[in-house]
Structure 1
Amino acid sequence: MSDAATAPPPRLSRKRRTAAERLFRSVRPELEERFRALAGRDGKPAGLRWVEVQFSGEPTFVTAPDGRLDALLPVVVQFEPIPGGGVEEVNAARLPRSAVALFHHRPAPWWASWSAGMWGTGGRVLFNHTPETAAERVAAGH
């Protein structure tokens, strides 16, 4: 048995999904800053420090199997080797890498019909993906 705190979010109606997408676009600058603050804290890729994250393009919205709405934004990440990290001599370590930043929507409670919910991020990035291939991965539940 699950309670409201652990239950998966319900699928959004078309009206609520449109409102959630509009909300994402309006708070995108704040979400990008939050992503920058969190990304790279997990130490991946090993031996590299995140220097810069450049966002580009429009979001791709995808519904995960559990009903959660995600937004995927293309990014280019610039790294620098960490001294003693073992990749100082690897030229490719300094090359910008294309990736996809992941954002999650949390719907408003059923009784808050005036709210579009809220967006957040854990700073997760999917390297070696385009928004299209990342959308397939999210939709498949990976």
Structure 2
Amino acid sequence: MSRFNVNKRPEAIKPLLALGDYVRNSGLEQSLIELVQMRVSQLNGCAYCLDMHSKDARAAGETEQRLYLLQAWREAPFYSTRERAALAWCEAVTRLDSIHGVPDDVYEQARAEFGEDQLIDLNMAVILINGWNRIAIPSRAEPGHYRPGKH
């Protein structure tokens, strides 16, 4: 059962909705954005967002195999160099700590694949899903009801 419904305060989520529009229109591949949203939601344990983004990813043509193995992306051969750089980046940014930050090798790999502008866009995608996770988890948003295209 939900604790609170953030939709009762639509002005509270306007910045996240605007950031979502920015990310969708940034030029990053939608399939890459979905993988990042899935991986961050796995790291954070957000069932609602995992339900939503697995459905969106499948509706956009993502394969079951790649979704099932996403937690083990380093060992699985199904992800491109660009996707691997994005997944390493999203993990480092999601797990930020005050001592290590984002490791230099992760930054260099991501910078090589994305360039500065797209790396900023990728970072915004990571910030966006972390924000949504931090709404869905404490509100106890219930997974299972989402239908693709119903954002």
Say yes or no: TM over 0.5. no
Q: Which has the higher contact order (CA 8 A, sep 6+)?
A: 2
**Between Structure 1 and Structure 2, which shows a larger proportion of strand residues?**
1
Bigger CA radius of gyration: 1
For normalisation by structure 2, the TM-score amounts to: 0.28
